[in-house]
Amino acid sequence: MTGRLLELTRLSVHDGPGIRTTAFLKGCALQCRWCHNPESISPRPEIGFVKRKCVGCGKCAEACPVGAHTFDGGSHRLNRGLCKACGKCVEACLPGALRHYGSEMTAEEVAAAVLEDATFYTKSGGGCTISGGEPLLQAPFCAEVFGILRQSGIHCAMDTSGAVGWECFETVLPHTDLFLYDLKHMDEAVHRAHTGSSNGKILDNLKRLSGCGVPIEIRIPTIPGFNADTDSMAAIGQLLNDLNNIVGVRLLPYHLARSKYETIGRPYPMDDVQPPDAATIDNAKAILQGFGLHVT
């Protein structure tokens, strides 16, 4: 079976315990305003363009079968309406200004790439994490990758937004050692306004998952003006307080991601928001710790 990948990141130390390799899959069910990986949202392949690296050689235009690349007074333009993301331009672009997001890989290929670093997982208590995008949109693929890896004793973690049908969880549950579960906001309307979707499925799945005996680390993107305030954090803490198998909570402070939006030709939606200061993070931490949670 094949999956659509964005990237494999090695020496990953923030996506679960130890040293890990994280496979980022393409395609997401949510449209979070603050998304750091905008190229992971669409399930279709895309071409990224890094303007700084373009030398204006025109090789992309020569290689493109549909005329999507043009040069306007020496300045490169990519007509994304025409682009089929076939990747021919990327192969032709020697300075590396163009890149292809969303290559197809088989589960065996992904597992083999992950297993290259097996020694590092053994020595660090690490393993493999599948993230996204929303990896559970490709749940059978994830299950196959994990199935292969677990034959070699590799620890497998699933990083999910939870915004999928429960059957996706059922598919991967037998092969997953740890869930990294994103929570954004407890208020349905606020959640919908900032992510484009209700939090109903997310909360239902989390409650159900917490009864399955697999450890869960909660991850909260912490964003001023959205959920970094006392009330929002307290509401999350209240929920987690009632659940089982929550092994910890990790706050992920919002960072700028403008360059990635430019790369895929989209406007940056968060110009009005600044990263949280230390006091905001400390406050959020203290509130969650008040519910007896282990917060990092």
Partner 1 sequence: MLRPFDEVRKQLERQYLDVQFDPASGLSKDELVAELDEHRAENPDEPRILTRAWLFHLLCSKARLAVEPDDYFADKLEHHNLLITLREEWRREEEGREFKDEPQAILGAWTGQLDVGHICPDWRSLLQHGFTGLRDRAAGRSGDFYQAVAMVYDGAIILAKRLAEAQGNAALAALAQRPPQTFHEALQLAYLYHELQEMEGGYCVRSMGRFDQLYGNFYVADLKAGRLTRDHAKELLKYFWVKFFARTRGKLYGKPFLFGPEVNELSYLAFEVYREMQIVDPKLHVRLGEQTPQDFMDEVAGCILAGCTGIVTVNDTAQVEMLRQNGKTLEDAKDYILIGCYEPAVMGKELNCSGAAGLNLAKAVEIALASGDYGSFEDLMAAYIGTLDAQIARAIDRVRRDERLWPQVSPSPLLSGTMDSCIERGLDVSQAGAKYNTSGCCCVGLANAADSLAAVRQIVFEEQRCTLADLRAALAANWEGYEGLRLIAQHRVPKWGNNDARVDDLAVEITNFLGKRLNHEPNARGGVFQAALYGITDTAKAFGRNTGALPDGRLAGQPLTINTGATIGMDSKGVTSLINSVTTLDLAQFPNGTVLDIMLHPSVVTGSAGIPTICSIIRSHFAQGGMAIQFNVFDADLLREAQCTPEKYANLQVRVCGWNVRFVDLAPEEQQMFITKAEVA
Which of 85, 100, 106, 120 contacts partner 1 by CB under 8 A? 120
Is there binding between residue 266 and partner 1 (CB under 8 A)? no
> In this structure, how many other beta carbons lie within 10 angstroms of the beta carbon of residue 70?
15
Report how far residue 284's alpha carbon sits from residue 129's, in angstroms, rounded to the nearest whole number: 26
Alpha helices in 152-257 (DSSP H): 166-172, 188-195, 200-209, 230-241
Which of 9, 70, 103, 283 contacts partner 1 by CB under 8 A? 9
Total of residues contacting partner 1 (CB under 8 A) = 41
Selection from 126, 138, 216 nearest residue 172 by Cα:
138
Residues 36-65 that bind partner 1 (CB under 8 A): 36-37, 50
Selection from 33, 38, 39, 31 nearest residue 273 by Cα:
33
- Cβ 11 to partner 1 shortest distance, Å: 5
Window contacting partner 1 (CB under 8 A); options: 124-132, 142-150, 208-216, 229-237: 124-132
Is there binding between residue 187 and partner 1 (CB under 8 A)? no
Is there binding between residue 12 and partner 1 (CB under 8 A)? yes
CB 37 within 8 A of CB 22: no
Q: How far is CA 33 from CA 25, 84, 208, in A?
A: 19, 26, 27
Report how far residue 11's alpha carbon sits from residue 19's, in angstroms, rounded to the nearest whole number: 6
Window contacting partner 1 (CB under 8 A); options: 76-84, 198-206, 238-246, 256-264: 256-264
Binding site for partner 1 (CB under 8 A): 9-15, 18-19, 21-22, 24, 36-37, 50, 94-96, 116-117, 119-120, 122-124, 126, 131, 219, 221, 252-260, 262, 275, 296
